[in-house]
Structure 1
Amino acid sequence: MYEELLKNIAIDDERIVVMTAENRALIRNLPSVLGKRFIDTGITEQCMVGAAAGLALRGRVPVLHALASFLSMRAFEFVRTDAGIPNLPIKLSAFIPGFLSDGNGPTHQAVEDVSLMRGIPNMQVFAPANEQDLAIMLPEILASKHPAYIRICHRPTSFQHQKHFEIGKAEVIAEGTDITLLTYGFMLEQTLIAAEILRAEGKSVGIVNLRSLKPIDEAYLVDLTQKTDLLVTIEDHFVTGGLYSIVAEIFLKNQIQVPVLPIALFEKWFKPARLQEVLEYEGFTGKQIAERILGYHTEAIQPHIVASEFAE
């Protein structure tokens, strides 16, 4: 779906130039369609970004493809200097971010990419949850005048997203008064499973897909603190710099104190394996997430029970 959508957009808009650093997994059939508007620079992510900046300065909209770890880290200085500082509309399609790099070791794991990319002024950061979400979001992202980092997730799922996407707005899937689960990207799959388990335990559970991480829906998050008892951030990213940090920054800025439980990677890369095995080993299956939340929820109310008994 991604390739077909990008092809159709590029056919209709001659400004689009598709580029890759010898990673054609998402765009194998585009060279014959786009001709000179398809450029493979080889394994040279830095040079690809530099070349894209030159094209952007001449009115093109380059869409770059490489592994998320290499776009966000190997080419970081070039992204910062050649895309961020001049605010050029270079789009970074980052392949296999987070747990999606399952069988790869730490060198190929992009679990700090959100932190790095959102720290660049002018850079927008997006994290579609699946194939349909990506298709809904892509036209708006490509139309933006700013550089953008897209945490690509093109897995097909049965979940049906809201058809409207607006940059900077959250997709509110469900509202709940006990617990609200905040997530993005691939982890929405497991979050939906966790929500069903929590509801079976009698909890009122909200689910929010924060597919636009920068800009993020700050007004909604601030308002949400008045509507739910516990917020849970769920992400296949380091706890530092990702969604948990974003939420903390927003709440501190607005002088809001509210319980927030982070479910993320704490100062460690994940053990490489097949995707399901990674989730189970690291504790990120829907069932494990639900169990962690239920345990936290019990601990959170325990001090009030003890205080009540002591008072008697």
Structure 2
Amino acid sequence: MSYEELLTETAQANEQVVVMTAENRALVRNLPAILGKRFIDTGITEQTMIGAAAGLALRGRIPVVHALAAFLTMRAFEFIRTDVGIPALPVKLSGFIPGLLSDANGPTHQAIEDISLLRGIPNMTVYAPADEDDLIKMLPCIWSSPAPAYTRINIRKPVYQHSEYTPGQAETICEGADVTILTYGLLFEQAFAATELLKAEGLSIGLVNMRSLKPVDEQVILKAAKSTAVVVVEDHFVTGGLYTIVAEVLLKHQQTADVLPVSLSEKWFRPGLLPDVLQHEGFTGKQIADRIFAHLTKGKNPSQLLYPQLED
């Protein structure tokens, strides 16, 4: 099932669902003919769309709104905070091409601070599915919740068949004593590849698909902290995203851990085709595995290494 098919099925089953877009119909091209007046395109006016969605939500509707993630979360931020977050209205924000999925676009179109922005709004919930399979399994819970929600939309084909989604819970793919990788969204695919490479070298590697970043699964983070190292892999600025969330959880529970961030630092990524962006920014499975191995073996004699070379 695709995103559009799920949304069509949901809207046909519940007449309170209204689909809105700020001239971003890539995910919902067929819905105007199906939903009629329950499909609203406000044009390139993200602020107006959010204000209208809040008004509809006050009248019992469930608006599912669509825009490019960068414009949805930044251009309309005050409207999301004030009109949706403060009154805790069930407006469902679908952010298209978030993170590195905005591969061909420059900084103005890159949503790599979106999680930091949206999770800072009281009452807002924040989700980042790993791929289309994960997305379809998560959205029914997200849309049926009374809480406002932001979802990083990800329709890439899966490399792993995900478990059913339980609200607020992460998905543990495997457990490991040497390293636990915490990740979400697009980079789950690369973290999965890195896990397989490191396992082949005899290391005990855990992998967790976080799924929900607010609420966050604190117990899975605390369990990961028992590994020799925790690695956070995310296509987001290191400030305010999962790396910061992990730090907050550890501090809250007065625990420490060796945490390695594989994130974007203080710069936007260089535009290009997605494989080239991943390579240039150091996010391929092999590059992630290399960084993890280098971190684990820092200061050791090369003759002691299990992992002298990884093949491309």
Instruction: Give TM-score, length-normalised by structure 1.
Output: 0.95
What is the CA deviation profile of residues 68-115 of structure 1, one whole-angstrom value per residue up to 9, with x for unaligned ones?
A: 000110000000000000000000000000000000000000000000
Following superposition, the deviation at residue 229 of structure 1 comes to 1.1
1:158 Cα offset (Å)? 3.4
Is this contact kept in 1: 2:103–2:273, CA < 8 A?
Answer: yes
SS across alignment from 2:51:
helix
**CA drift at 1:263:** 0.3
SS at match of 1:299: coil
- How many matched pairs? 301
SS of alignment partner, residue 99 of structure 1 = helix
Q: What is the CA distance between 1:225 and its match in structure 2? A: 2.1
Gaps of 5+ in 1: 306-312
Q: Corresponding residue for 1:180?
A: 180
Residue 217 of structure 1 is matched in structure 2 by 217
| Deviation at residue 154 of structure 1 after TM alignment | 0.7
Question: Retained in 1: the 8 A contact 2:159–2:189?
Answer: no
Whole-Å Cα distance in 1 between the matches of residues 222 and 299 of structure 2?
Answer: 21
- Taking the TM superposition and a 5 Å limit, the aligned residue runs for 1:19-98 are 19-98=20-99
Q: Which residue of 1 aligns with 2:241?
A: 242
Equivalent-residue separation in structure 2 for 1:157 and 1:170 (angstroms): 17
Letter in 1 for 2:278: L
Alignment partners' CA distance in 2, 1:198 and 1:176: 11
- The 5 A counterparts of 1:102-251 are 102-162=103-163, 164-226=164-226, 228-251=227-250
Pairwise CA distance, 1:240: 0.2
**Alpha-carbon distance in structure 2 between the residues aligned to 1:37 and 1:22:** 15
Unaligned runs of 5+ in 2: 305-312
TM, length-normalised to structure 2: 0.95
Q: CA deviation at 1:200?
A: 1.5
Q: CA deviation at 1:301?
A: 6.1
1:308 alignment partner in structure 2: none
Root-mean-square deviation (CA, aligned residues, Å) is: 1.1
CA distance in 1 between partners of 2:181 and 2:242 (Å): 12
* Secondary structure, aligned partner of 2:80: helix
Distance 2:73 2:266 in 1: 18
Identity of aligned residues (%): 62
CA offsets 1:251-309 (integer angstroms, 9 cap, x no match): 0111111100000000000000000000001111000000011111111768xx9xxxx
Amino acid aligned to 2:172? V
Shift of 1:59: 0.2
- Letter of the structure 1 residue corresponding to residue 171 of structure 2: E
